[in-house]
Structure 1
Amino acid sequence: MPKTYFTPDTFRFLTALDRHNSREWFHAHKDDYERHVREPFLQLITDLQAPLAKISAHYRADPRKNGGSLFRIFRDTRFSNNKLPYKPWQGSRFFHERRHEIPAPSFYLHIQPGDCFAGGGMWHPESDALKHIREFIVDNPATWKRATQGKAFREHLQMGGESLSRPPRGYEATHELIDDLKRKDFVASAYFTEELACSDELLPWTVSTFKKVSPLIDYLCAAQELEF
């Protein structure tokens, strides 16, 4: 049966949290957070388990309240100039079963007023993982093109993240894929509206988006010698 998860109250809460970002305000409205944001998101993660397993048996949708796919709403302010205690968004990461052994790409879903998106990839991979990706692209350019330039990918997803201003050391500026080799992030995403987020189309749309981004995830897994 079609199911809805989020409502306009979800976005009203996140908008208010952005405006009143304090521990006192959050504690006074914690029940609203649980009812309108956390609990529906955990249910969505639960309902993504079966379709995600069909995309890849090695990826997990983990609906635990702590330590699972759902990111904490609390910000880590220890090393940040931004000392606001809460994130005005809610995100979830669907991770590889071997993520603790080897840096791995993830699928991702993000809910935020005016900025909802889903997709996947590797965000800020560390130097060794980044080196593996670049070397893999040089060694397997045709497969990279198929993963990121296919019709479904081009029509529904866009690559994002940061790039170097110059070619990385050891790579020629004339390389046919130099723009991709300059990337510091290897992520692709598709944006969606708050109306879709509050509709019964959210689950099938997310599954469809994960399927479209899966060639990129598969490629990045291969670069790290991970199963997909």
Structure 2
Amino acid sequence: MENIIIPKSSLDFLTQLKENNNKPWFDTNKPAYLKELNHIETFAGALLHELSKTDVLETASGKKSVYRIYRDIRFSKDKTPFKTFWGGSFTRATSQRRGGYYFHLEKGNSFFAGGFWGPNAGDLKRIRSEFAHDSEPMKKILNSKSFVKNFGALQGEQLKTSPKGFDVNHEAIDLLRYKQFLIIKRFTDDEVLSPLFLEQALDTCKNMRPFFDYMSEILTTDINGASVL
């Protein structure tokens, strides 16, 4: 594995941008931005290369994975023009592989995440039906040593009551209340800047796989286990 290191300057640039979030400053400092962007794209490319050895991804390159720094301010009350973090994602390929990997790098707030941010009504109903029918496979994943060590617990928005059509006293009501299904691992600045970060990031993504693979199985089959693809 290549030893790609994110330099401290890549996080420092974001701090400066946060203090000068305007177009004139950004235009003046565009060369510095492009230099730091290249570091992030190189890191993302190395991670994509390693991750592709164990998963099938449709993201074409590290460069393609990194989000634009320019904010869409058309419908936002916050009119600052630039994001103050490095972000990007890798999309799993084909309808058989659900879920995706997301990274967010920012001083004091860096993390890798994955899961299902906004499942549509059909997918949400299918997931809940499966959990209501048999919640043990998901509970086994969420309670596994590797999951707890890396992600702690499942995260995401939840209903305060039971979802329509499900008993409030159901033994899996804690799972049935979720509207989002997210797993997140946070990293300190020292970890992000460490020579070991690429290896740790890869390990984090690999540890998402049991969750992704089981959710993919649910979303590609009906309640009887027959393929819907």
TM-score (norm 1): 0.87
Task: Tell me the residue number matched to 2:42.
Answer: 43
Matches within 5 A, 1:145-224: 145-158=139-152, 159-224=154-219
Task: Tell me the residue number matched to 2:224.
Answer: none
Contact 1:119 1:188 in 2 (8 A): yes
Query: 1:142: Cα distance to partner?
Result: 1.7
SS, match of residue 160 in structure 1? coil
| Cα distance per residue 1:3-27 (max 9 Å; x no partner) | 2431221111111111211122212
Structure 2's unaligned 5+ residue stretches are: 222-226
Task: Tell me the residue number matched to 2:86.
Answer: 90
SS, match of residue 26 in structure 1? helix
Name which one, 1 or 2, has greater alpha-carbon Rg: 2
Summarize the Cα distance change of 1:85–1:25 in structure 2 as closer, same or farther, 3 Å threshold: same
SS, match of residue 170 in structure 2? coil
| Cα distance per residue 1:34-65 (max 9 Å; x no partner) | 212x2112112221233212332x22453264
SS, match of residue 92 in structure 1? strand
Structure-1 separation of matches of 2:96 and 2:39: 31
Asked if residue 130 in structure 1 is aligned to residue 124 in structure 2, the reply is yes
Query: 1:88: Cα distance to partner?
Result: 0.7
TM-score (norm 2): 0.87
Query: 1:104: Cα distance to partner?
Result: 3.6
SS, match of residue 21 in structure 2? coil
Structure-2 separation of matches of 1:42 and 1:140: 42
Asked if residue 106 in structure 1 is aligned to residue 106 in structure 2, the reply is no
Structure-1 separation of matches of 2:127 and 2:9: 41
SS, match of residue 94 in structure 1? strand
Amino acid at match of 1:94: F
Amino acid at match of 2:212: I
Summarize the Cα distance change of 1:215–1:103 in structure 2 as closer, same or farther, 3 Å threshold: closer
Contact 2:126 2:219 in 1 (8 A): yes
Alpha-carbon RMSD across the aligned residues, in angstroms, is 2.2
Structure-1 separation of matches of 2:78 and 2:122: 29
